[in-house]
């Protein structure tokens, strides 16, 4: 491991917290040191209060901030002397500790200081860095881990046995640190948890972290336990309905829809197919705080009911011994190791899924290295349980508000690159769904850079391309719960006598046949949607009221309408609802440039404003109006409705 320090970069971080922010980010950049809020840093600064008195302030990482992207506002100032004294109390409950930290914070609105704040306070040095470095965890969680750690570090580091983060750990460190410390001490290892380093300056503390972690890495390398390859995993074929079934079962166990991502990358697949996977994966997490995200163990294979009952047993076994009554969490897995899927990661949001995947990727390395040292030895499950069912975590659950309407669900939108399709994608994202956007236009792939959106360029009329795209979508999010059939074309105005075979065919192919292909590809997935499948067809006012010169368009949309009605009949038994919207005169799409609008308005002898509102309600209908209704049609308001056809046109005399 190398120091990433650069004088030029460091110079860009000004102010009293500048160096603290900079080296915190350096730690955050290395995923083998900290992952997803898994480490923290602090600095002690002397400040004058409003009375001109000197005050020692501890700035410590606040919860909700990641080291990689932390800013000065991410550090919470607390009264150092007071907080340090807390560690000398004979006892302090976690809720009391949280209360004391909150009431001794010096900036209103600052984030809650880390639960490891007391540890930072008791260490005398100005700068303190703390990580959960993979290499140190591998050594610590192997046979004779403590002895190995002491061999590696000698008196460079104070060694503390495993104690759950919080008051007891801080109190133990406050006693042990002065006892074990020598003039050579530059760090502190918390067994099965992580490492602390400290120093007078930001660079010193950071580079000591690099040095201590490098020593563990070198030790592993010397024992041939550093780069651990896996046997080649071999070929896989992805069965999307099997993946959707797995997600369906997990969602059922959770009691709410979960997203699921299957990652059959070499490392995950190799580990899932490891001859010893049933043993080495069932020890426990690499470091206990992963448990909040991942649950203690991955499921092997796809037996969700088996996993749920094992989880219930684990809860009952451990809850009995707890000091206060505990409420069981949902019993669904957050990870599955499967011979075909590699790692299947589950979560309520795409971000959560990504976190589970990242954590397990590092866990695999930690486990394999410890195995190479003689055997992976995770913490006893009671410690994992203590973290998973910690008062503070249980309190968070009770406070958590209700999630957005479509949390954990997947919406597929065709023709998503622009216009109504893009507005639909936005409407579903706003309601918490993960969205797959399909379009012939490659712009669909870069519409948003966010974990809950996946854009795939493909030609829906080509079955093979469509199938590849749907596979990709299911691998990424676990299924398709809602589909908006929006992609379509509006050919140039032509009288019937002038319609070319090509124009007729392409209308039918894109507006009708491609939708049949999408429906066929999605039917099995919609059937497995945790809350039942929903389809919204973007039809047209031309279905009830066709226009002259638009025969190909009107005929194709009318045929699509009939297809949707038959689907309502056939798919009701599968719990799938399908409803249609008939928009008219939606002008905020790529089709309608300012010039086209002006010329159409002129043709009717209207101003552009009048032309846009040329309906009974004299209102303008936008893409967003259509999209919002499409999303609502997938929600509880329409739970009892299928085969409905709803106009979105401001009122049209010919339709009325």
Distance CA 392, CA 543 (A): 57
CB of 100 to Zn ion, least distance (A): 19
Distance CA 434, CA 421 (A): 15
Residue nearest to Zn ion (CB): 194
Nearer to Zn ion, 129 or 249 (CB): 129
Annotate 545-577 with DSSP letters as a single string: S--TTBHHHHHHHHHHHHHHHHHHHHHGGGT-E
Nearer to Zn ion, 169 or 356 (CB): 169
Q: Which of 497, 515, 523, 315 is nearest to 415 (CA)?
A: 515
Nearer to Zn ion, 162 or 638 (CB): 162
Secondary structure (3-state) at 478: coil
CB of 450 to Zn ion, least distance (A): 29
Q: Which of 397, 655, 638 is nearest to 541 (CA)?
A: 655
CB of 509 to Zn ion, least distance (A): 58
What does each C-alpha distance from 328 to 165, 254, 257, 331 come to in angstroms? 21, 11, 18, 8
CB of 370 to Zn ion, least distance (A): 19
Q: Are 164 and 195 in contact (CB under 8 A)?
A: no
CB of 195 to Zn ion, least distance (A): 9
Half-sphere exposure of 432 (CA within 13 A, CB side): 17
Q: Are 461 and 513 in contact (CB under 8 A)?
A: yes
Q: Which residues bind Zn ion (CB under 5 A)?
A: 194
Report phi then psi at 654, rounded to 5. Answer: -75, -25
Contacts 24+ apart (CB under 8 A), 209-212: 209/27, 209/33, 209/129, 209/131, 209/133, 210/1, 210/2, 210/3, 211/186, 212/136, 212/153, 212/156, 212/157, 212/186, 212/187
Secondary structure (3-state) at 259: strand
CB of 188 to Zn ion, least distance (A): 11
Residues labelled catalytic:
553
CB of 67 to Zn ion, least distance (A): 12
Nearer to Zn ion, 137 or 260 (CB): 137
Secondary structure (3-state) at 599: helix
CB of 378 to Zn ion, least distance (A): 16
What does each C-alpha distance from 593 to 587, 589, 608 come to in angstroms? 8, 8, 12
Distance CA 273, CA 624 (A): 47
Distance CA 203, CA 199 (A): 8
Q: Are 532 and 463 in contact (CB under 8 A)?
A: no
Distance CA 233, CA 345 (A): 19
Nearer to Zn ion, 188 or 272 (CB): 188
């Amino acid at each position: 491991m190398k120091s990433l320090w650069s004088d030029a970069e460091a110079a860009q971080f000004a102010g009293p917290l500048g160096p603290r922010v900079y080296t915190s980010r350096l730690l955050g950049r290395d995923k083998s040191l900290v992952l997803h809020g898994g480490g923290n840093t602090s600095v002690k600064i002397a400040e004058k209060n409003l009375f001109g008195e000197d005050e020692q302030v501890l700035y410590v990482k606040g919860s909700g901030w990641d080291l990689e992207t932390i800013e000065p506002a991410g550090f919470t100032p607390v009264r150092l002397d007071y907080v340090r004294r807390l560690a000398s109390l004979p006892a302090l409950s976690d809720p009391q500790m949280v209360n004391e930290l909150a009431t001794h914070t010096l900036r209103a609105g600052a984030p809650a200081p880390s639960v490891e704040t007391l540890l930072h306070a008791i260490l005398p040095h100005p700068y303190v860095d703390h990580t959960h470095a993979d290499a140190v965890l591998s050594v610590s969680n192997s046979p004779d881990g403590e002895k190995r750690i002491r061999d590696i570090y000698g008196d460079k580091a104070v060694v503390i046995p495993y104690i759950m983060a919080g008051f007891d750990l801080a109190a133990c460190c406050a006693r042990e640190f002065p006892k074990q410390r020598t003039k050579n001490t530059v760090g502190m290892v918390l067994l099965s948890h992580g490492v602390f380093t400290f120093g007078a300056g930001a660079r010193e503390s950071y580079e000591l972290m690099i040095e201590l972690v490098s020593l563990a890495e070198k030790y592993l390398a010397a024992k041939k336990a550093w780069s651990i390859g896996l046997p080649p995993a071999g070929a896989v074929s992805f069965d999307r309905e099997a993946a959707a079934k797995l997600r369906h079962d997990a969602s059922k166990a959770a009691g709410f829809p979960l997203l699921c991502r299957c990652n059959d990358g070499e490392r995950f697949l190799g580990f899932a197919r490891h001859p010893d996977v049933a043993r080495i994966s069932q020890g426990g997490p690499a470091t206990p705080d992963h448990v909040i995200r991942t649950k203690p163990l991955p499921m092997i294979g796809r037996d969700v009911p088996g996993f749920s009952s094992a989880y219930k047993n684990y809860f009952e076994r451990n809850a009995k011994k707890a000091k206060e009554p505990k409420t069981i969490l949902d019993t669904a897995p957050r990870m599955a190791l499967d011979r075909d899927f590699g790692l299947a990661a589950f979560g309520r949001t795409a971000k959560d899924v990504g976190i589970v995947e990242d954590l397990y990727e590092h866990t695999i390395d930690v486990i394999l290295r410890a195995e190479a040292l003689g055997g992976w030895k995770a913490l006893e499950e009671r410690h994992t349980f203590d973290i998973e069912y910690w008062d503070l975590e249980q309190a968070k659950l009770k406070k958590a508000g209700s999630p957005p309407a479509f949390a954990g669900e997947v919406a597929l939108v065709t023709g998503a690159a622009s216009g109504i399709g893009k507005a639909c994608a936005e409407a579903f994202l706003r309601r918490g769904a993960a969205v797959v956007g399909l379009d012939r236009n490659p712009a669909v792939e870069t519409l948003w850079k966010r974990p809950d959106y996946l854009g795939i360029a493909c030609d829906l009329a080509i079955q093979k391309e469509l199938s590849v795209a749907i596979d990709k979508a299911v691998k990424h999010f676990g299924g398709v719960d809602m589909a908006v059939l929006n992609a379509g074309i509006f050919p140039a105005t032509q009288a019937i006598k002038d319609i070319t075979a090509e124009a007729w065919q392409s209308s039918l192919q894109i507006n009708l046949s491609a939708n049949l292909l999408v429906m066929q590809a999605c039917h099995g997935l919609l059937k497995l949607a945790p809350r039942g499948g929903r389809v919204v067809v973007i039809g047209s006012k031309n279905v009830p009221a066709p226009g002259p010169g638009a025969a190909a368009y009107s005929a194709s949309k009318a045929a699509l309408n009939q297809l949707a009605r038959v689907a309502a009949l056939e798919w009701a038994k599968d719990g799938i609802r399908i409803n249609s919207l008939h928009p008219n005169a939606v002008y905020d799409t790529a089709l309608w440039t300012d010039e086209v609008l002006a010329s159409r308005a002129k043709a009717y002898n209207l101003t552009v404003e009048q032309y846009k509102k040329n309906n009974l309600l004299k209102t303008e209908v936008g893409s967003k109006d259509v999209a919002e209704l499409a999303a609502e049609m997938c929600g509880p308001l329409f739970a009892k409705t299928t085969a409905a056809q709803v106009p979105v046109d401001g009122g049209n005399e010919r339709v009325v």
